[in-house]
């Protein structure tokens, strides 16, 4: 790889481009490098895959009922029916007209008052919804920050990727481990786990000089990229079938997957 391509890859422009944060000039430059150099194309494809892995582990549902609540409030409008029968008499027409005007004024005032009260309630609903939205935005920002941190870990040149597949006992088992010996961090992404009886579970272990150390239980219902304990000088990773809740000692005879880290 020549120095020009290496300098470009270390500039961080690919990360910015993938997240939509490049300027028009930077975008043109990145797309030019992707189209010209296979090394840049491969790096871009790897970044896309890593971002998909991170995004999969962070799912957030949008706030429910906000639009419906506001529309329901706005759809309600007061309907006032005025059924008044007036016996008209010529000599009373001025006094009756004055009475009707007074009643209309009072009725109109009441309608305006009711509408103002209704608008105040609707405004309060909107204010509450906006407050909830702001809270959700803060949560999303924190989640985005976490996604960025995980993406940086995955894109770190020191991070090694290990694909763990199942043996004959669990052909559809697939997990991916990301280990960075320099920063001493470990993460695992559960891709698929064959279904087990309710009284059993999958447990992942690190082989340290022949001793199996538990790194936790794997559960497909909780599929997401997550941290696992980093074990110095681990020789291999193994996945076994254990009783529900996990085991303190690995059932080697129930091993369904293993990969060497050396």
The pLDDT value given to residue 211: 92
Judge whether residue 212 has pLDDT over 90: yes
Q: How confident is the model at residue 145 (pLDDT cuts 50, 70, 90)?
A: low
Tokens, residue 199: 């009284």
Judge whether residue 188 has pLDDT over 80: yes
Residue 34 phi/psi, 5-degree rounding, is -60, -40
The packing angle between helices 24-36 and 38-56, to 10°, is: 110
Q: Which residue has better confidence, 203 or 146? A: 203
The answer to whether 193 and 168 are in contact (CB under 8 A) is: no
Q: Please state the rounded mean pLDDT for residues 57-79.
A: 56
Question: Using CA atoms, how far apart are residues 12 and 15, in angstroms rounded to an integer?
Answer: 5
Q: Please state the rounded mean pLDDT for residues 220-230.
A: 81
Q: Which residue has better confidence, 80 or 116? A: 116
Question: Using CA atoms, how far apart are residues 85 and 90, in angstroms rounded to an integer?
Answer: 16
Q: How confident is the model at residue 98 (pLDDT cuts 50, 70, 90)?
A: low
* CB count in 10 Å sphere of residue 96: 13
The pLDDT value given to residue 91: 45
Q: What percent of the chain has pLDDT over 90?
A: 29
The pLDDT value given to residue 5: 85
Residue with tokens 């599929």: 223
Burial, 28: exposed, middle or buried (Cβ in 10 Å; 0-12, 13-18, 19+)?
A: exposed
Q: How confident is the model at residue 124 (pLDDT cuts 50, 70, 90)?
A: confident
Tokens, residue 118: 């209704």
pLDDT in tens, 230-245: 998 899 999 999 999 9
CA neighbor of 54 nearest in space, from 227, 182, 192? 227
Choose the most confident range, by mean pLDDT, from 2-16, 59-73, 147-161, 226-240: 226-240
């Amino acid at each position: 790889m020549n120095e020009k391509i290496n300098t470009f890859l270390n500039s961080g422009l690919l990360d910015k481009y993938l997240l939509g944060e490049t300027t028009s000039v930077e975008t043109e430059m990145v797309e030019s490098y992707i189209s010209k150099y296979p090394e840049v194309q491969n790096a871009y494809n790897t970044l896309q895959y890593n971002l998909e892995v991170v995004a999969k582990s962070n799912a957030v549902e949008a706030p429910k009922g906000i639009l419906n609540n506001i529309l329901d409030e706005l759809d309600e409008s007061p309907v006032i029916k005025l059924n008044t029968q007036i016996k008209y008499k010529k000599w009373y027409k001025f006094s009756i007209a004055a009475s009707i005007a007074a009643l209309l004024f009072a009725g109109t005032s009441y309608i305006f008052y009711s509408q103002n009260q209704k608008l105040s309630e609707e405004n309060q609903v909107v204010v509450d919804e906006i407050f909830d939205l702001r809270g959700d935005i803060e949560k999303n920002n924190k989640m985005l920050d976490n996604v960025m941190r995980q993406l940086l870990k995955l894109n770190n040149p020191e991070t090694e990727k290990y694909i763990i597949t199942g043996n004959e006992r669990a052909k559809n088992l697939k997990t991916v481990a990301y280990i960075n010996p320099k920063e001493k961090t470990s993460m695992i992404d559960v891709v698929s786990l064959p279904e087990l009886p309710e009284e059993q579970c999958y447990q992942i272990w690190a082989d340290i000089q022949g001793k199996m150390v538990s790194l936790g239980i794997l559960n497909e219902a909780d599929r997401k990229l997550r941290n696992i304990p980093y074990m110095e000088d681990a020789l291999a990773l193994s996945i076994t079938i254990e009783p529900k809740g996990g085991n303190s000692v690995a059932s080697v005879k129930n091993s369904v997957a293993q990969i060497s880290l050396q």
